[in-house]
A and B are shown apart, each in its own frame.
Chain A
Amino acid sequence: MKKAWWKILCVVLLVYAIIGGLLVKIPDLPVLGETIRNVFYHVGMWAAMFVLFTCSLVHAIRYLSKGNLKNDIAASNYASVGIVFGLLGYATGAVWASYTWADPNNPAFDSFSAVAREPKLIGTAVALLIYFAYFILRSSIQDMDQKARISAVYNIFAFAMLFPTIMVVPRLLPSLHPGQDGNPALNFRDSSPAMRMIQYPAFIGWALLGVWIATVSIRLNYIKEKHFIK
């Protein structure tokens, strides 16, 4: 029970985020309207994704310094749960965009490519492609130790290249997405103080949920691979 405090915190924060997110008084903004409530869920997915990818990076570094296969299993599981949250982020974003961006009177939205040429979408697509490539690299190597070492090296290299991507791409393309200059998750010009009271706890809650899911799948894999790990 001692170690479970953060799981309880996660449930409490998410219940608070869902109930509070539906009840809180929102600023009445043009176009956005009530859809702004999606910020608690959509942006939370990205927060969780980045926390999970960062955990994966930390375990990759620890694998290279200690050489314990447990860290390798953890790194790959954090990455796979991170991918799931990335896809969920796309899904919640698509729902949101269909109410705000999709405009039958605007010819710019006739084609998919017009909407897809969006810095935030491209940045995330790059992140997801990197981690898909990570799993392809893993599955192409038979030897367990070699697989762990080479994929840890790629993990670190890719993560270090991911951050320039997220910072560079928005400077090159125009965007409809809020939070154009800087980090969209931490830019709250459009939100009210009341919303911020729910935003931060919601992000922490989603990130904790992601880590929770990942730790369950890591423990499952520890049992599967128990003959190989110390």
Chain B
Amino acid sequence: MKRLAVKNLLGRPGRTAALFFLVLLLSLTLCGGGLVLSSLRTGLGSLENRLGADVIVMPAKAALKTDLDTLFLQGTIGPYYMNMSTVDKIAKTEGISRLSTQIFLSSMRASCCSIPIQVIGFDPESDFTVSSWLKESRQGSLDEGRLLVGSRVNANPGESIKLYNISCPVAGQLQPTGTGLDTAVYCTLPTIRTLMTAAEDLGGYSSISGDPSETVSAVYIKVKEGVDPKDVADSINVHVRKVKAVQTRSVITTVADSLSGLERILTLLIIAAAVLVWLVLFAAFTLMTGERKKEFATLRLCGLSRGRLAGLVFREAAIVSLLGSAAGVGLSFLLVHAFSGALGNALGLPFLLPSAGTAATLALAALFGCLLAGPLAAAVSARKLSRADTGLILREG
């Protein structure tokens, strides 16, 4: 009977291919949809981890020009800077536990630079947002003049990137975050200040004002335990001029709200598509089982019990469903992986593929969902059909 199931499948290639395609579609919908949703959730989680700070302070001009919601999806705030004296004033605000500065610089699309890229300079000693990520990525210390590159920057450790005619060796590559941070490079403050000086010499950054060693782009603040970040942000906004303090929680909340809305729509679409394909699949298996009533009646006549007949049909459907759903799962991973960047950009949300465990769970759920449709429909139909008048079916031919 095992061979009969395979023979039947091979003997009707058109029918088998149609069923295979339907199962693949169902599996693709379930697994692919699940992967997209899961990637968005993972991306948001990653964004939360990466932000680390409770409050971010940036030049007021930058705050006016920058969409705060996408600030950390883009990675940087553009070519706006504030003086170190401003940082000193910010540091005097009550309730601050830790404070660290970062400098953002964009490379030029010119012969002086290998690639157009965002450069982020940070202070490893005071930093509490990037360093933990570096540790997760198991990268070594970042010496002066060297760079760490984001996961989507096309440069390998050992190679060099030319920025403003300065060749910077790549020390390592960071783990993906699913945000714009993946397309940036990271270096220490002295390195980025050297690059800023070089940029000024080349006329690439006219808006840099004053001594590069005295400017920063943003200040990251961790508040003391029990202190409300809102109070700290408000205090800075009131007491320090020409800056804008933002709670990171508000950025996260806005992104989370967008994600939540999108998640609802996507979930509904996935459920609707899956139910539709499931119904088509159920109908297809039922119709095809009906078409084969003569064949089943013959087997019943030969002495095959209802249970064994249902088993035979179940086996056939299970083979097609397993192959189709496995192909669908494979295709889902392939497509979501290949287009993860494009999907993240199109949705305007952090997009990071989930862990292997989550991915495996999704794959298993999709396989289970597919196996619920075909084999069940086929076995139910076969059992129903086996109760029909076998003799009559065969006499009618």
Q: Are both chains from one complex?
A: no
